[in-house]
Structure formats: C-alpha cells, structure tokens
Amino acid sequence: MGKIENLEAINGEGYQLTTLDKAVGLARANSMWPLPFATSCCGIEFMATMGSSYDLSRFGMERMSFSPRQADLLIVAGTISKKLGPVLKQVYEQMSEPKWVLSVGACASSGGIFDTYSVLQGIDRIIPVDVYVPGCPPRPEQIIDGVMKIHELVKTESLRRRYNDEYKHLMKNYNIELKNDE
C-alpha cells in the first residue's frame, strides 16, 4: 500500500495518521469539478488543455461540470463584456462552498487589449479570484500551472477559512450574500 508523502503525517506499518484538514484538502484537490466559462481565444487554449496532448484529467479534473451547483472550480477564460458580468456573478453565486476561481488570460484578468466601455476590466471587479494565469492567450502549460496552484491552495486551506470574518467581509465587498452563515 502506497504512503502519501505530501502530507505531514506519521507513517507506520499498515497505518498513517494525519490531521483532518490535510486529508480533506488532499481529497478536495484531487477531485476538482471545474466549470469552464470560456469565451474567445482563451477558451480555445483551454480546450487544447483538456485534449489528449496535455490531458488535464491527470489532475483529477476529467469531469467537466456545466452546472454551477455541481462545480467547485470556476475557470473564466476570455473576454467578459459588461453585459455578461451579471451572468458570471450569478453563476459564481450558484456554486456551493467551497469554491475557487481561476482567471485565465489577460482579458479575464484585466480586460486585456480591450480598454473599451463594453469590456469588464478584470473579473475581480465582480467576483473574487484565487489564481490569475497571464498570457494572451496563455499556453496550455500555463493553464496547467494555474490549476496546480489552485490545487496547492485547496490542499493548504483550512476547513474553517470560509467561515471566518475576513472571508465574510470579502464577500460583503463584492455584494455576495453568504447562504450558510453561522
């Protein structure tokens, strides 16, 4: 039986001890269900990342979820217009906790080359973003690197982080109402 070397654990013959936070974090990180919100050229690069040459399913993400209620990772790739902003925010709000956001490409991160009245200058104006992937469009290797950074974040996140006052204040700044207040 293989031992998990990544966790701070006590390994013995036939047993392994660790904390609940680390075990749950490892399980969450290796079973992400991403929801792709892909537009324009970054969406094409994301599709290439899911293809057989790069195979994002190696990271436990072989099941794309096209329902926000079943997803825990929102991958926003491409240009988001101001008309599409409320739709994106609604999709984010429909996702259940815990949820993470990966912003792929210059357009999703900062509006890119489209400094116009109709393009949202970064999705972080309407929803919180956990990891940014730079590039116009980013290569599949960069997207995989962003996914790996999300995995590290998920592995090390405390089970109670989403219920602390700092997180509640962040959601309040984005005008997002938390459903499960304690």
- Asked if the structure places residue 179 within a domain, the reply is no
- pLDDT on residue 161: 76
pLDDT of residue 151: 92
Q: 2 lies in a domain?
A: no
* pLDDT, position 130: 93
Distance CA 153, CA 61 (A): 16
What is the structure's pLDDT at 165?
A: 86
- The CATH number assigned to the domain holding 118 equals 3.40.50.12280
What's the pLDDT score for residue 4? 55
Residues shown for the chain:
182
> Domain of 133?
16-173
User: What pLDDT is recorded for position 105?
Assistant: 92
Q: pLDDT at residue 1 above 50?
A: no
Beta-bridge mates of residue 37:
76
Of 74, 87, 67, nearest to 32 by C-alpha is 74
Q: Per-residue pLDDT tens for 129-149?
A: 999 999 988 999 999 999 999
pLDDT at site 59: 84
Using 50, 70 and 90 to split pLDDT, how confident is the model at 58? confident
Asked whether residue 9 is assigned to any structural domain, the reply reads no
Q: Does residue 165 fall inside a structural domain?
A: yes
Domain membership of residue 130 (yes or no) is yes
> Looking at the domain assignment, is residue 180 inside a domain?
no
- Distance (Å, whole) CA 12 – CA 7: 14
Residue 178 lies inside a defined structural domain of this protein: no
Enter the tokens of residue 56.
């994002």
Angle at 32 between CA 30 and CA 35, to 5 degrees: 160
- Is 182 inside a domain boundary? no
- Model's pTM, two decimal places? 0.85
Strand runs labelled E in 40-140: 73-77, 100-104, 131-133
- Structure confidence by residue, pLDDT tens digits, 160-170: 777 788 888 88
Judged against a pLDDT cut of 50, whether residue 30 lies above it is answered with yes
Q: What phi and psi, each to the nearest 5 degrees, are found at residue 26?
A: -65, -40
What is the pLDDT, as a whole number, of residue 73?
94
Kindly state the percentage of the chain with pLDDT values over 70. 91
Report the candidate in 100, 109, 49 with the shortest Cα–Cα distance to residue 77. 109
Q: How many domains, the chain?
A: 1
What pLDDT, in 10s, does the model give residues 70-126?
999 999 999 999 999 999 999 999 998 889 999 999 999 998 888 889 999 999 999
Out of 53-62, 87-96, 147-156, least confident range: 53-62
